[in-house]
Chain A
Amino acid sequence: MTALSPARFKEQAAAALKDAPLQRALGNMRVGFIEKRRKAAEKLPEFEDLRDQGVAIKNHTLAHLDLYLEAWEKKVVEGGGHVHWARDAEEARQIVLGICRSAEARTVTKGKSMIGEEMHLNPFLEANGIEPVETDLGEYIIQLRHETPSHIIAPAIHVNKEQVADAFREHHTGLPPDRPLDEGPDLLAEARTQLRDRFIAADVGITGANFLVAETGSSIIVTNEGNGDLTQTLPRVHIVLASLEKVVPTLEDATTLMRLLARSATGQEMSVYTTVSTGPRRDGDPDGPEEYHVVLLDNGRSALYGTEFQEVFRCIRCGACLNHCPVYGAIGGHAYGTVYPGPIGKVLSPALMGIDKAGALPNASSFCGRCEEVCPMRIPLPKLMRHWREAEFSGKHNPAPVRWGLGLWAWAVRRPALYRFGARFAIAGMAFLGRKRGHLRSLPLAGGWTAHRNLPAPQGGVFHDLWRKQRKRR
């Protein structure tokens, strides 16, 4: 299998549309998340006001990000933790490897982390003789299947349970091959047992962070399974992977965002476990890690502050924009060929990879606006996609025929009389061709339209001409 890439977005999307198991899996998603979010939002009368406050909290924090990061770092260090700043993914990988090496780590358990995905951490650790074990059930499944997450909160949303059973039979050797694995509970019980041993054996636990709290120097993770807590409690060393924009000022500010996060993501009132971690275990604590490290990744983000794209850093990774996106719902996450799929990925990926590489993504939107409508942080995703299209156009990254076509169109519509003169002939011709059926089945240069649908025939005549005739008669 060739590696997925945003440069091949169209081909990957076409393949996804023909992938029957994927289409079945996406069908589950399109009903569940949307209805649950709607109900959760309706149940909390202050939901819209909380969204406004969440936006304000994030805007304030991002505008003072340097200061909040310094305040947060100071508290981490006071509490006996370590902060490691990484400019790019390679630097972050080396930092993690260094910590693992000094802990003489052989296996590492991992809670779900999109920053870990951004760092391509797992293949790197493997290449260096350290075994990473994903512990979120969805992440575990896709790790066995040698895949990447296709959704930021439901990484295995593209997988059906038969495919999970196949992966378990292949990898959980030593169990009776004819054991029943037809139902969800069989699969969950087996994963639980298998992973329990891995949790206990691990030398280092790596988690992401939903928030960093400047007031206390804490990191917060939000999970439903409890895997993140076992990951960060049982091994001797806890490493947190986070990007710059995760910091919030106070526990109260984090609380406002938490009131939005689970409701927007899964429609839960709260996720099951929200854990605030501060430093290593304390004197007298019978459990918890002896070392606490945070790796803070920039990876191109700092260059976007002070630009229109700063707004994207309000994102709290709830996944609502993916769940409500008709394009994501049609093709799933892998077709995007990037770490972050869906609307947020269409804005974030060009920032992380360059518009020359990820240009297809911000273009692949009908601008229906549903993502912005449900984004708890009111990120103007369509507007930011349009800004990327502008950056692409002004950087001349899009194909020449597109540019010429647009140039010709713009020239013509600024001359309405001339434009209408030309249009009269085209319309008369199409009306003639479609007069019998009311539509055309094909038309030169309109293959993109007529491949899948008929082209309604023009009624004949241009409104402006007809209007003037009618007014004269009056």
Chain B
Amino acid sequence: MSSRDAILGALRQRLDRDADGGKGAEAVAERLSAHRHNLIPQRGQRDRAGRIDLFEDYAAGADATVARVASAGDVPAAVADFLKRHNLPANLVRAPDAELDAIPWDSQPTLTLEARKAEEPDAVSVTAAFGAVAETGTLVTVSGDDNPTTLNFLPENHIVVLWADRISGDYEAQWSALRARYGDGALPRTVTLVTGPSRSADIEQTLQLGAHGPRRLHIVIVDERPEP
């Protein structure tokens, strides 16, 4: 008998599966397809402006920095500002994301951007978030040809462009949006929920930022998303 059959057989016997007359299988199939919401905390259930404020509060509470700009045209200046503040180099690596393509990077002539995955020793990356969750100040990032995962983790400084209309109150709205984009039961290779920059408290329970991932996470919230 294979180990698979042995383990599943033991479970079936102990859980009395044969006696349930197919009821268990029905319940499981129903639950898997229904995507029922469990209790959603009230905290994120606000209007658009309230969600943006809440997101900013919680992201800042998790040690991210947040800049708010009106339109895509303001993003390069916000990025340049961040770099200057932390004395960072102006050559960036960015996601080959269509919405980032549409940003007028040339408006800041000092910036140079390469669209590719991250490699050592890239210092600063720019990515576009799939969405965000106001409830906890959490970004939702997805992997794909337009958003390599390594950009989220290798460079010490991570800048994320977030379109304000993609900030939902709760996680459940993000799962629905992912199902709408990728299909029921399907997901990209990775969906990463990011709440603040990397950290560790493994040495004497003292919190330090920048353990293996970015030391700084800077979020640029753009009020108006350009039409594709």
* A residues with CB within 8 A of B: 25, 28-29, 32-33, 44-46, 49-50, 53, 57, 60, 63-71, 75, 79, 85-87, 91, 135-138, 141, 154-157, 159-161, 164, 184-185, 187-188, 192, 195-196, 199-200, 214-218, 224-227, 229-230, 233-234, 244, 249-253, 255-256, 258-259, 266, 268-282, 284-288, 296, 298, 302-303, 305-307
A64-B28, A85-B4, A252-B36 given; 8 more Cβ-contact pairs under 8 Å: A46-B39, A63-B24, A70-B8, A187-B203, A233-B150, A251-B175, A273-B195, A287-B149
Say yes or no: B189 contacts A252, CB within 8 Å.
Answer: no
Among candidates B11, B171, B204, residue contacting A25 with C-beta atoms closer than 8 Å: B204
> What is the bound-complex CA distance between A141 and B24, given in angstroms?
46
Which of B68-76, B83-91, B104-112, B180-188 contacts its partner?
A: B180-188
* B residues with CB within 8 A of A: 2-4, 6-8, 10-12, 14-17, 24-25, 27-28, 31-32, 35-39, 41-43, 58, 61-62, 116-117, 120, 136-138, 143-145, 148-150, 152-154, 171-172, 175, 185-206, 208, 210-214
Residues of B within 8 A of A136 (CB): 202
Say yes or no: B136 contacts A269, CB within 8 Å.
Answer: yes
* Those 3 A-B pairs whose CB atoms lie nearest each other, nearest first: A226-B213, A138-B202, A225-B211
Contact A273/B213 with A71-B32, A302-B11 known, Cβ cut-off 8 Å: yes
- Would you mind naming 13 contact pairs between A and B with Cβ atoms under 8 Å apart? A32-B205, A69-B11, A184-B204, A192-B211, A217-B185, A256-B39, A271-B195, A272-B194, A276-B193, A285-B143, A287-B148, A298-B3, A306-B16
> What is the bound-complex CA distance between A307 and B10, given in angstroms?
13
Residues of B within 8 A of A46 (CB): 39, 41-42
Contact A137/B202 with A225-B211, A229-B213, A302-B14 known, Cβ cut-off 8 Å: yes
Residues of A within 8 A of B136 (CB): 269-270
Residues of A within 8 A of B152 (CB): 226, 229
Say yes or no: A216 contacts B187, CB within 8 Å.
Answer: yes
> What is the bound-complex CA distance between A65 and B25, given in angstroms?
11
B118, closest chain A residue (CB): A287
> What is the bound-complex CA distance between A80 and B190, given in angstroms?
14
Residues of A within 8 A of B38 (CB): 50, 53, 57, 252-253, 255-256
Q: Give A312 Cβ to nearest chain B Cβ, in Å.
A: 14
Say yes or no: A226 contacts B193, CB within 8 Å.
Answer: no
Say yes or no: B175 contacts A255, CB within 8 Å.
Answer: yes
Among candidates A28, A91, A305, residue contacting B3 with C-beta atoms closer than 8 Å: A91
Among candidates B3, B175, B190, residue contacting A86 with C-beta atoms closer than 8 Å: B3
Say yes or no: A137 contacts B120, CB within 8 Å.
Answer: no
Say yes or no: A302 contacts B197, CB within 8 Å.
Answer: no
Residues of B within 8 A of A224 (CB): 198-201, 211
Residues of A within 8 A of B199 (CB): 224-225, 272
Say yes or no: A87 contacts B15, CB within 8 Å.
Answer: no
B152, closest chain A residue (CB): A229
Q: Give B103 Cβ to nearest chain A Cβ, in Å.
A: 20
Q: Give A258 Cβ to nearest chain B Cβ, in Å.
A: 8
Say yes or no: A28 contacts B204, CB within 8 Å.
Answer: yes
Contact A64/B189 with A45-B42, A69-B8 known, Cβ cut-off 8 Å: no
Q: Give A113 Cβ to nearest chain B Cβ, in Å.
A: 16
Q: Give A213 Cβ to nearest chain B Cβ, in Å.
A: 9
Say yes or no: B189 contacts A288, CB within 8 Å.
Answer: yes
Say yes or no: B211 contacts A226, CB within 8 Å.
Answer: yes
> What is the bound-complex CA distance between A306 and B41, given in angstroms?
33
Q: Give B150 Cβ to nearest chain A Cβ, in Å.
A: 5
A140, closest chain B residue (CB): B202
Residues of B within 8 A of A141 (CB): 202-203
Contact A216/B185 with A64-B28, A137-B202 known, Cβ cut-off 8 Å: yes
Say yes or no: B190 contacts A302, CB within 8 Å.
Answer: no
Residues of B within 8 A of A188 (CB): 200, 203, 208, 210-211
Q: Give A310 Cβ to nearest chain B Cβ, in Å.
A: 9
> What is the bound-complex CA distance between A248 and B102, given in angstroms?
40
Contact A226/B208 with A67-B28, A252-B37 known, Cβ cut-off 8 Å: no
